[in-house]
Amino acid sequence: MAVLIGQMMLGGEVSLARVMPAFVERYPELAVEASFTDRLVDLIEEGYDLAVRMGTSAPTASRAVDALDELGLVDRKPDPGDRRALQLDLTPEGRRSVEERKARVLEAFRPAVGELPAADREQLAALLARLADELA
């Protein structure tokens, strides 16, 4: 008897509740374990497919990467482990763009947070740190 061992990682909006009963019925020999998260991931290190993570088709993800590449925000490199795949990395300009966006978000929230009493700000910081730990 052949044994299948592996994992499938999904991202984006995927409705497993609709398809899992039929899958489990069709493949009763497989054990299925699911966990759900909406955290930032390292697509390469954690084995995610970009299109699946985005919740789109491969052509749509490819067009998005094309646009980022044309803007000089990402570099494409051949994947040494899979000649059909590419690895993406942020360029220095891409990293600057991410940092600028984070700064704009911070500026947008600063006035509201500034109105909170010091104790509430400390509690908010502690809760956000816990949330970040849970998402990591």
Domain span at residue 127? 92-136
Question: Are 42 and 81 contained in the same domain?
Answer: yes
> Domain check: are 66 and 49 in the same one?
yes
Judge if 4 and 57 occupy the same domain: yes
Residues 68-114 have pLDDT tens digits of 999 999 998 888 887 877 888 889 999 899 889 889 988 888 888 88
- How far from 16 is each of 47, 98, 109, CA to CA, in Å? 19, 32, 35
Rounded to the nearest integer, the mean pLDDT of the chain is: 77
For 51-68, what is each residue's pLDDT tens digit? 666 767 778 888 988 999
CA 1, distance to chain mean position in Å, is: 36
pTM assigned to the model:
0.51
- Which of 105, 83, 102, 84 is CA-nearest to residue 94? 102
Number of domains in the chain: 2
Q: Are residues 77 and 24 in the same domain?
A: yes
15 and 63 assigned to the same domain: yes
Residues 97 and 65 grouped into a single domain: no
The answer to whether the CB of 90 falls within 8 A of the CB of 74 is yes
